[in-house]
Amino acid sequence: MDLFTAINIIVLLGLLFVLYWMQKKHVSFSKRVLTGLGIGIVFGVALQLIYQPASDTITQTNDWFGIVGSGYVKLLQMIVMPLVFISIVAAFTRLKKSTNLGKISGLVIGTLLLTTAIAAAIGIASTVGFDLKAIDVNTSDAEVARGQELEERLTDVQSTTVPQKILEFLPTNPFQDLTGARPTSTIAVVIFAAFVGVAYLGVRRKHPEQADFFQKIVESLHSIVMRIVTLVLRLTPYGILALMARTVAGSDFNAIATLGKFVIASYVALIAMFLVHLLILAIMGLSPKQYVKKVMPVLVFAFTSRTSAGTLPLNVDAQRNKLGVPESIANFSASFGITIGQNGCAGIYPAMLAVMIAPSQGIDPLSPSFLSTLILVVMVSSFGVAGVGGGATFASLIVLSTMNLPVALAGVLISIEPLIDMGRTAVNVSGSMVSGLVTSRSLGELDTKKYRSDDVSSESTAV
């Protein structure tokens, strides 16, 4: 470790102490999160101005910053699978009417797929509006190499048939899936938890005493898991500060400037999709202003961390304790939203790439047949997209290969991938929360009093 790296670490520790002091002064959780974001950006820009992004000092500094930033993300990922499993089983044990299961699942998945179709249409419109074309994108050696690597991965994607992809959702070994070993592990855990829940409902009808005993075990485990969630969420402001500083300090602003038109078009599409989320809530009779105010800390973390899966604990917490969504619906929408219908990664991004590439293959990207096929393919391919960094690239591989388009462009854009992925992840998480709100509102189970309340604290974050 050189002297400059040591100084940077000391400065980071000082900034983290500022957040700790704010916590001791009982500053609200939301303000501490936003403060961490702001300080992280300023610190990252300062490091950019003092050192070169590719310098050894920045590399070593970011490596040490990862103990706080990446360490926090790993702690969140640690509790994702236990939280998904026990929360869904608990939702069954607390369910009064089993007939609601089909309605909840159908409305959640339907909303996710519908918003993904809208996201694809917005991505197409933004690409056409900014006149983005693949032939106008400049490439470097690293980007060309990345494109060749994706071409090789394409063989694996194409060799998997649709029935095989569906079979991958099923939990052959639920204990393996609890480790998150596969891209579809989250869906597999949801399915396994649903089987456990349905079995519980059957036992409850025939052997109520045994069912009561099982329910007590589940409630105890649920309390323990939620307590772990609380302990981890308390670290959110510190994690966001370190993650933001690390991201900004290590960003290649020259590459961002070169591909700036695509970055701007992407964020125009992402902002437009977020406005669609607010419009949907307004149509459902819910205040968009209240929604933004209550979910901002969740979206800030999603933006900073670039992981939908890691954001799941905050997602569930915000839906339950701030938005008034029943626990069963919050668990389903947040869990399904990790790998199904991700509006940013599986909706906007693949659609933009497809429209950019189409002219180079002699295809009219505005033809009704191409547009309708593309939107349908985007919807279907959104199943099973991993909710971690890189999910958008995997979704693009599936969409482009299905549309018989070359995939190299996804590798060409690697230099600006982190910057765009931040916005995509925030939109993904927002889409899952909107699906929970739409579902609970449609079923008449939304606690509108809690939603309209100005209290933005929660059980887990009121620390």
Q: Which amino acid is at 134?
A: A
Q: Is the pLDDT of residue 459 over 50?
A: no
Q: Tell me which residue has tokens 């419009």.
A: 279
Query: ∠188-189-193 over CA atoms, to 5°?
Result: 120
Tens of pLDDT, residues 37-57 = 899 989 988 888 888 766 788
> Is residue 154's pLDDT more than 70?
no
Give the pLDDT of residue 29. Answer: 81
* Long-range Cβ contact pairs of 220-225 (< 8 A, separation 24 or more): 221/86, 222/86, 222/87, 222/90, 225/79, 225/82, 225/83, 225/86, 225/87
Q: Which two tokens stand for residue 348?
A: 């906007």
Selected residue with higher pLDDT from 154 and 397: 397
Q: What is the mean pLDDT of residues 107-135?
A: 90
Tens of pLDDT, residues 288-331: 999 999 999 899 888 888 888 778 888 988 998 899 998 878 88
pLDDT surpasses 50 at 346: yes
User: How far is residue 45's CA from residue 190's CA, in Å, rounded to a whole number?
Assistant: 41
- As a 3-state breakdown, the chain gives helix, strand, coil percent values, each rounded to 5, of 80, 0, 20
Query: Stretch 281-292: mean pLDDT, rounded?
Result: 94
State the average pLDDT for the chain: 83
Do residues 421 and 389 lie in contact, with contact meaning Cβ atoms separated by under 8 Å?
yes
Share of the chain above pLDDT 70, in %: 84
> Could you report the per-residue pLDDT of 224-277, keeping only the tens digit for each?
988 888 888 888 889 889 988 888 887 767 666 667 888 899 999 999 999 999
Indicate the pTM of the whole model.
0.79
> 291, 271, 297, 232: which is closest to 36 by C-alpha?
297
Q: Are 463 and 234 contacting, i.e. CB atoms less than 8 angstroms apart?
A: yes
Cβ 108 vs Cβ 439: under 8 Å: yes
Q: How far apart are CA 93 and CA 215, in angstroms?
A: 6
Looking at residue 412, its pLDDT comes to: 60
Task: Give the closest residue to 168 by CA, choosing from 384, 401, 393.
Answer: 384
- What is the per-residue pLDDT across 363-399, written as a single tens digit (0 to 9) for each? 888 899 999 999 998 888 777 665 555 567 777 777 8
- pLDDT given for residue 374 in this prediction: 92
262 vs 14, residue with greater confidence: 14
Per-residue pLDDT, 371: 92
Confidence band (pLDDT; 50, 70, 90) for 205?
Answer: confident
The contacts of residue 95 (CB under 8 Å, 6+ apart) are 101, 197, 201, 328
d(CA 47, CA 57): 10
Question: What pLDDT score was predicted for residue 463?
Answer: 47
Decide if pLDDT at 146 tops 90.
Answer: no
Proportion of the chain above pLDDT 90, given as a percent:
29
Residue 359 C-beta-side C-alpha neighbours within 13 Å: 12
Say if residue 130 is exposed, middle or buried (CB neighbours under 10 Å; 0-12, 13-18, 19+): middle
